[in-house]
Structure formats: C-alpha cells, structure tokens
Structure 1
C-alpha cells in the first residue's frame, strides 16, 4: 500500500484524502490548525454554483478594476503597491483573456461533474451540511449586465449547464422576499448551497473512518522529493519532525506557491481576499424575511446562502492585497447595507464578519495533476470556486496518483484534458 501525504485540510485537501483513501492508499493529512476547514473553507458564500463558472479573464474586469481602484467599498479592490508576485500574476491574467471562452466552458464542465461526486459522498457518509437544492438566481439591475449574462449562458450551455432567463415578475415568484427594482435575472435550478465548514469537517471524519491519519497542529515548513520518496518536515510545539512517504499532494491553498517552489515547480497562486457575513436570524420576522433561494447580485458581486433556519450568509468582493487577512470595517459595511436594502425585514443586529484568502491562478483554472517529480501532485488554485469544484478535482488528482502507482484510474469522470497542463 503506497503512502501519500496531503498538505492542507481545507476543502480540497479533505476531499483529496477521502478520494485517495477510497482507492486504497495509506493517506496522512497535515494541517497547521487544530481542526479541518479553519481558513478559506470556514465561512465562504456557500454556493455550489456551476452557474458562476465564468472566468474573470475578460476585458470588462480590467476596466472595472481601474474604475474602482480608489473606492474602498468597491467589489474589486487592488492595492496599488507593486510586488513582483502581483505584477507577474496580472500579466498572466491579461495573457489569459484570449482563453476566456474555452476556460469558462471547461469550468462549467467540471462544476457539473463535481455535483455527482459531492452529493454521493455526503449521502454515503451521512454528512449534514445544511444542503439546499433550490437553485441559484442571478439578479441584474440593468440591460447591459443582463445581456452579458445571456452571452455567458451560451458558454455554460456548451459546458452542459442549462439556465433560463427570468422576468422581474418571475424573480419575485422564485424569491418573494427580494426587495428592489431589477431588469431581469437568470435562474439555474440545478445549483445548490450548503455550509462548506460543516461538509469539510464531516468528510474529514469519514476519511478518518476509512483509515486516513489526520495530523492537526502540524505547521509544515519544508517539502522535498527525489522522485521516489517525499519528505514532509512539520513543526509541532516548535520542534521539527520529518516524515517520509511515497508521494505528496499539495492542497495548501494560498501557501501552495511556496511549497511548489520547494519542490521545483511553479504554481502562481495569488491570495485574493474575500469577505463574508453570517447574519444570525434570531426571530420569526427575520427568518421569514430572509431568502431561501440563493442569489448572486452581479453588480455588487455578492452571493447569498440560507444555512438552516437561523443563519443567512452573504459573501463576495475581491481584494488583491497580498497575504493580508485583516477584516476591514469598510469592506464589511457594504455587505450589511446590501442586506438592509434587499431584505429590509432581516435584523442585522447579530452579524459575524469573516475574511478568507482565495487561492487563484491567473487563468482561473485549478492546478490539478503532476509536478516535475514523479511522486509530486497538486490540487490547488481553485479561486472562488473551490467549494464548487472540489469533489471532481479530488477525484481527478486521485486518479492521476493511482495511474502513477497502479496504472489504472477507475472513477475519473472528467477528462484531464479540460484543464491546461502546467509544470
């Protein structure tokens, strides 16, 4: 039985551990926190949103970024202070604009395939994660945004995802609690929402039942490989310990770039900060006034999820500000204001703010597959769709690992050719 180390117990690390354990590997999962899913997988928007598969490599993104640069409350905010990492990332982002159509279609294909795995795993393991399969409604306040969404819908359809245009009257029928005036919307019945933290913790427990060794409180400092064996050096209570394995899979989110460099690979992940608020719904009026259908507001770039009876999650924005994890009041305030405007009956007295760093590749496509060394693998760089894509990319990288050691890879449902090959 081959031994595989996985670095990181967020959504990608835990799903990868589970997929490898199901294939019979001896898996050890390293995580610097005391529990799984304590960083970017803690409090995201909650959407399992194939309908949000459009990549950001579009000329309009550049124009919006320039327009919003001096607004502290802008949906997209770039710290103008230069760094080589930021400059190289944006250069590659711009170079990826010609691949906008191809990558959007490929992302939609991945997202559609991911549902089958994620829902099957949750059912098989009895994971309760506040799943709501009531679709996602994209809302538009003007004709320009609505017409762009129509073009995106054609790309989603090419990727196997149907969604339909809806009138303002149909929008109110789909989600009666939504206030305001809108030009129109697009509705994707097949999309869903859930609590990423609850799912990840539940699947981590299932992985342990399958024999995965989980090492929490392990701050990984160094990875190395000679192509035949891999070593992981982690600090526990300040003392370094080195472990050896047959192979290693890097699922370390925004830290994947530095680990890849240690292993001789280039994985140009940039940390793109996102914010969320969890609005507690303590009374009947707030519970009745909060939406049950998930929303995506294209103008403000905010998404929503209803998590059970008494929680409402609102998340979004993109902030290019390095590895800064500060929760800024001027970035949280627009989320609270949005709730008050769109759902005036919801009390915002009890709001829990949060910020996380999304690991984004410049072309918006996750890095899934082999590194330079024969026993090094990656499953990282999922950006704003880590929750949505996690199950299928875990299955894919597990298949790649199995091919490396066994020669066959049953269970891989999406051809790896939909992802650009990088080393």
Structure 2
C-alpha cells in the first residue's frame, strides 16, 4: 500500500519509518528544506514519562487568571479575535473538571511509556547518536507550597506505575551537584531515574536518513495546499513543489502529521481536529565550564522551565503562549530565561553565545494527542502532542503504522476510529 505522510517532524518521520518497516511504500511531504525544522527543532529535549500530566486540572483556571497580566508568565493566554482559540479554551475548561484528570493521565502515561521503550529499542538497533543521556529527570521546588502539591502529583503518577520519587533538598544536590550554589533556595524535589534526555532534531534528521536508505521518499520544499476527496475517500493531495508548480500526489492512505497546522488541512473536509498552537521558547547556551553545568535533566517547577545537557550545549526551554500562530520572539521572555539561567549556573555558560527559538506546540485541550483513523477511512491523524512530542513521538509513529496496517497497537490508548 502507498502511504503519504504529511509532515517531517519527529511524529511524521517516526510514522514513515514504522510504515516502511511494515512493508508499505511511503512518501513524506514537508514545506521545509529538511526534517525537524519547526516544532521538532529546538525543544526542551526531555523524554519525560514522569511528567506526562495534562495542563488541564482543577487548579489551572485560577492560575491562568493570575498569570494573564504577566509577560513572563509560565502559561500566557492572550485573547485573540479567533473563534478557534475560544473554542479550544472552552474545551480546555471542560477538561479541568476533576473527573477528567485521571483518565487523561492514564492515556498520556501509557503512550509515553510505550514510546520511551520504543526509542530505547530503536537506539540500540539503529545506532543513532543524538547527545542522549540516561540520567533521569529531577524536578526541584523553591516554595513549600509547590513542593507539598508535588507530593500529591507524584503519588498519582506512582499509582500509574511511574517511579517518581520524592527527595529532600539535600538529595536534590546529591543527584545534581551543579545546583549546590542554590541549595538555600531549594526546599525539595522529585526524581525519576528512568527518564532520559536528548536532541530531538539530531535524532529526527538521523532517522530520516535511515528511512530514506530504507526506501522512503522525501519531498521537501513542498507545500500541501489541500486534500482532494472523492467517493468518501481522499483521492490525492494537491501540492506546490519546490519549483512552484502544482501537482497531485496520489496514495492509498494519507497521514496528517502537520502539528498545529493540521486543522487547517482537514477542517474543509469536515474532520474535527481540536488542536491549537501553544508557543514555547528555548534558549541554547554554549557550556564553558562543564563541571558547573548540570548533566541530569532538570525541571524548575516555579518557573516551568527545563534544562537538558546536550554535549557541549545546555538547552533551556519552557513557557507557553496561547496567542495564535505567530512565532515572533517575545523579548521579555527571552531576557527572563537568560537571567534565570544566569542565576542558577552563573559560571557554567557563555551568556554572550545564546540562541533563542520559538516553536508552535500542537496542543489538544486534554493534552491527549489525536492518533488514528478519521471519519474518512483512508485519512489518519497523528498530531496534538503538545509539550510531549519528543516523549511520545516514536511510539505514536509505531502505533499509527499498526493502525494503517490493520493491526492492534500495543499501548492502552484512546485511538481515533477505535
């Protein structure tokens, strides 16, 4: 069967790889000049099963109200004259109801665990190098209020089989000595040794190369303008190629993995896709003093930012803006991140050599991604992973390939069309 995968981020490339492994003829289409050029380019680098938790929870609405007037707020909502934003926001509020939380966590954890296991198998089998570290993820807290609340969250995650261990402030320093100069600020933490970190861009580029060697065709600098329905199926995809010419790509099945841009492609077909962009930021610093820089991947709970060591670089990422599709850098956010990194690791990093970046995370109100068949039986979605695209990416691709191939995927997950 010929399958067209639309999008070449970690989700699209993983899907293409597993479809090819299942014996399908696969072509990948992307408007960029290569793989992983947009949301998969410079994210927080964590494989974070232990924090596969939805933003939507009973405490979220009050926090959002408190943060609305802060430019440096961890989650910033900027109302737009955009009905899609308001529709998404109302659905988000419904997901904040207490009865929804455990169901959403269960689905997210199951896919995240499956994906981490799949990534480990792929790393061993394919020999891909991507600056990965298996040092776990350490979340540290600077207020007793946050630390006390974290113990309840950690307990919930342990109920789902995730070993998220509560640790004292002294244990935080023992796990990551680079935090020692800030010992007086830290009141405690939680730690999951099984989690990992690594550069999603390096991994995706290497996997795309492996996929191409295995026979997957990649069409870069090619825009998908619309899908062409015929007799209840998708007959083809209209493209504008690298030379600016229109052409039609025909296939037996189509997978929409275009991140935040997926809804615009499938909405004219009457296919629901409740995905809206949440703009995230990252800052990548050059490490000049390796002994002072962390090697354990860190999460600063108070500021909702993460730090991951990537060879001779330190990636800092976080925050979220619900403010439409603009990728314009917010200077206040950039300076706030730089200042925060300077506070924690003043001697470790070159603060004159920093690369800022933004990406549009494709987020659903529940944070559960949309994976599976749509009401059009040869059109599939693989999108909506939010902040967990790297965490869930390779597992989502493998599960979607199983669905296209008529097999039952391994993870317990609410797949579309099931």
Asked if these proteins are the same fold (TM beyond 0.5), I'd say yes
Residue of structure 1 equivalent to 2:60: 61
> 2:235 & 2:123 partners in 1: Cα distance?
31
Of 316, 324, 327, 1:325 maps to 327
Matched, 1:259 2:265: yes
Describe how 1:227-238 pairs up with structure 2 within 5 A. 227-236=232-241, 237-238=243-244
Q: What SS class does the counterpart of residue 278 from structure 1 fall into?
A: strand
Q: Does 1:400 align with 2:400?
A: no
Q: Secondary structure at the match of 1:59?
A: coil
TM-superposed deviation, 1:304: 0.9
Shift of 1:28: 0.4
- Equivalent pair of 2:373/2:416 in contact (CA under 8 Å): no
Partner of 2:30: 31
Q: In the alignment, which residue of structure 2 is the partner of 1:79?
A: 78
Please give the TM-score of this superposition, normalised by the length of structure 1. Answer: 0.94
Cα shift readout 1:324-366 (whole Å, capped 9, x = no counterpart): 0001211111111111111121231210000000000111100
The CA deviation string for residues 192-228 of structure 1, in whole angstroms up to 9 with x for no partner, is 0000000000111111122111111111111123345
Shift of 1:249: 0.4
The match for 1:352 is: 355
CA distance in 1, matches of 2:161, 2:405: 28
Number of the residue aligned with 2:149:
148
In 1, are the aligned partners of 2:234 and 2:376 still within 8 Å (CA)? no
CA distance in 1, matches of 2:244, 2:378: 28
Give how far 1:229 is off. Answer: 4.9
In 1, Cα distance between equivalents of 2:14 and 2:78: 33
Cα deviation for residue 160 of structure 1 reads 2.1
Consecutive unaligned residues in structure 2, runs of 5 or more: none
Would the alpha carbon gap of residues 322 and 229 (structure 1) be closer, same or farther in structure 2, given more than 3 Å must change?
A: closer
Residue 168 (1) aligns with residue 172 (2): no
Q: Answer yes or no: is 1:290 the counterpart of 2:285.
A: no
Matching residue of 2:341: 339
The normalised TM-score by structure 2 is 0.95
Aligned positions, number: 410
Q: Give the whole-Å Cα distance in 2 for the aligned partners of 1:339 and 1:49.
A: 21
Contact 2:374 2:416 in 1 (8 A): no
- How far the C-alpha of 1:421 sits from its partner, in A, is 4.3
Measured against aligned partners, the alpha-carbon deviations of 1:285-342 in whole angstroms (never above 9, x if no partner) come to x22211001101111000010001x100000000011000001211111111111111
Instruction: State the distance in 2 between where 1:211 and 1:262 align.
Output: 32
Which of the residues 172, 186, 195 maps onto 1:182?
186
Aligned equivalent of 1:17:
16
Find the aligned partners of 1:219 and 1:18 in 2 and give their Cα distance.
Answer: 21
Shift of residue 93, structure 1, vs aligned partner = 0.5
1:361 equivalent among 356, 359, 364: 364
- Give the Å deviation of 1:161: 1.1
- The 2-side partners of 1:355 and 1:421 are apart by 29
Q: 1:105 maps to what in 2?
A: 106
Measure, in 1, the Cα distance between the counterparts of 2:212 and 2:160: 35
Q: Equivalents in 1 of 2:378, 2:88: separation in Å?
A: 27
Q: Does 1:70 align with 2:69?
A: yes
Q: Does 1:221 align with 2:225?
A: yes
Counterparts in 2 of 1:391 and 1:97: CA distance versus 1, 3 Å: same
Structure 2 CA distance for aligned equivalents of residues 278 and 338 of structure 1: 13
Equivalent-residue separation in structure 1 for 2:5 and 2:146 (angstroms): 41
Q: 1:68 to 1:163 in 2, by over 3 A?
A: same
Question: Unpaired segments of 5 or more residues in structure 1?
Answer: none
Q: 1:77 to 1:228 in 2, by over 3 A?
A: closer
Equivalent position of 1:5 in the other structure: 4
Pairwise CA distance, 1:59 = 2.8
Residue 210 (structure 1) aligned to one of 189, 211, 214: 214
| SS across alignment from 1:72 | coil
Report the CA distance between 1:422 and its aligned residue.
7.0
Following the alignment from structure 1 to structure 2, what is the Cα–Cα distance between the partners of residues 263 and 393? 24
Map Cα deviations across residues 370-398 of structure 1 (whole Å, 9 max, x no partner).
11111011110000000000111111111
| Counterpart Cα distance in 2 of 1:324 and 1:366 | 22
Asked whether the 8 Å contact 1:105–1:158 carries over to 2, the reply is no
DSSP-derived class of the 1:349 partner: strand
